[in-house]
Amino acid sequence: MAKQNPIFTTIGKKTNEIPVEISYKILELFSGGLYSSPTKAIEELVANSFDAFASWVHVLISQDIDSENAIIAVVDDGDSMDIDGLKALWKIGESAKADEQKIDKNKRLPIGKFGIGKLATWVLSRELTHICKQKNKYLAVTMFYSNLDNNKTAENSKLNLDVRNLSKDEAKEALKTLATMNFDLNILFNNNVDSWTVSILSNLKPMVKDLKPGRLEWVLSTAMPLTPDFKSYLNNKEIKPIKLDTKPINKLIIGKNDKVADNLGFISDKNDMLPDEEKFGVTLPTLGRITGFV
Ligand SMILES: Nc1ncnc2c1ncn2[C@@H]1O[C@H](COP(=O)(O)OP(=O)(O)OP(=O)(O)O)[C@@H](O)[C@H]1O
Ligand SMILES: [Mg+2]
């Protein structure tokens, strides 16, 4: 019997379409190259949560990862997406984050640049669904990667993704699977969170078997920038940034016992009038006096 599509890939009323153009080559790049590790897909989704100014992100992985209904979900309370946001999501190879003008350096420096990160999910899953709440509207879009497979030889696969409008009850229904993973759905539906995004990988590929929770925890604990205003959870357990509880092995201060400067013939000096971190320094012919530590 053919497998039924999971409810979150179908529920709701189609209200719009998003045209997408993907070259199969770009997906193949993911499987062979930089993005081929199973953790990379999840890392990319978490990075997107971070970039959306989320204060928390939950990564949920089905216990029985081999079962055909197993999913991987990434839930965040970030800015989420409206219809234009979803169109931007599926514009391959373009990212508004790269727009220097829009970067507010006082908020967060974005991790994303290229507009392809979400495609790393292709390595792990045959479907990628985004369910978004923004301005009291619930929208859902599913990419069925299998719709691209028939077109392996084409330079570009073109397809349209349905945008579905969901009522609150439908959104709850779509996400009830998260409750079976011990995620408290009240967090999303009790009105304290104005906007949220749930990214769901479903119809998982064999590569998920290589996903080791310990390894994923380590990757997530080292990969995200260290900001106290972004908390991440893996199967409801908080992941502490590893760098925070690691004591430095050594501290090198420029100009203090600085053998590199000595060997290069640069002058090191000490000025007790300056603040601690700048007391020691090295004078470079072109730059002047530099200070700092590693
Ligand atoms: N969780 C999310 N919340 C809000 N917007 C999102 C989220 N995930 C993706 N987006 C939107 O979709 C766009 C595309 O995401 P994608 O990861 O493919 O590219 P990117 O993050 O811009 O760059 P990179 O390829 O370096 O990751 C993002 O620029 C962002 O606008
Ligand atoms: Mg990204």
Proximal ligand: closest to the CA of 92:
1
The CA 51 to ligand 1 mean position distance, Å, reads 8
pTM: 0.82
The CA 176 to ligand 1 mean position distance, Å, reads 25
For the CA of 95, the closest atom of ligand 1 is 22
Burial class (CB in 10 A: 0-12, 13-18, 19+), 255: buried
For range 5-24, the mean pLDDT: 94
pLDDT at 88 over 90: yes
Proximal ligand: closest to the CA of 89:
1
Taking each helix axis from N to C end, the angle separating 213-223 and 38-51, rounded to the nearest 10 degrees, works out to 40
Which amino acid belongs to residue 241?
Answer: P
State the residue for tokens 């292709």. Answer: 122
Nearest CA-CA partner of 182 in 33, 102, 75: 75
* Percent of the residues in the chain that have a pLDDT greater than 90, as a whole number: 54
The CA 120 to ligand 1 mean position distance, Å, reads 12
The CA 46 to ligand 2 mean position distance, Å, reads 8
pLDDT greater at residue 25 or residue 62: 62
pLDDT at 272 over 70: yes
Q: What pLDDT score was predicted for residue 91?
A: 93
* Most trustworthy range by pLDDT among 70-74, 260-264, 285-289: 70-74
- Give the residue, by CA position, lying nearest to ligand 1 atom 13: 89
pLDDT at 1 over 70: no
What domains appear along the chain, each with residue ranges and CATH number? Answer: 7-241 (3.30.565.10), 247-294 (no CATH)
pLDDT at 207 over 80: yes
Nearest CA-CA partner of 131 in 44, 205, 73: 73
Q: What pLDDT score was predicted for residue 107?
A: 74
Q: What pLDDT score was predicted for residue 155?
A: 74
Q: Strand, coil or helix: what is 198?
A: strand
Q: What pLDDT score was predicted for residue 259?
A: 86
- Give the residue, by CA position, lying nearest to ligand 1 atom 3: 80
Structure-block tokens of residue 54? 């989320």
Cα-based distances in Å from 103 to 89, 109, 164, 285, 287: 18, 7, 30, 34, 29
Angle at 99 between CA 89 and CA 95, to 5 degrees: 20
Q: For 119-159, how does the pLDDT look when each residue is reduced to its tens digit (9 = 90+)?
A: 999 999 999 999 999 999 999 999 999 888 666 666 788 89
Q: What pLDDT score was predicted for residue 14?
A: 98
* Most trustworthy range by pLDDT among 110-124, 133-147, 233-247: 133-147
pLDDT at 17 over 80: yes
Q: For 58-72, how does the pLDDT look when each residue is reduced to its tens digit (9 = 90+)?
A: 999 999 999 999 999
Q: What pLDDT score was predicted for residue 130?
A: 98
Q: What pLDDT score was predicted for residue 126?
A: 94
For range 198-207, the mean pLDDT: 96
Q: What pLDDT score was predicted for residue 191?
A: 78
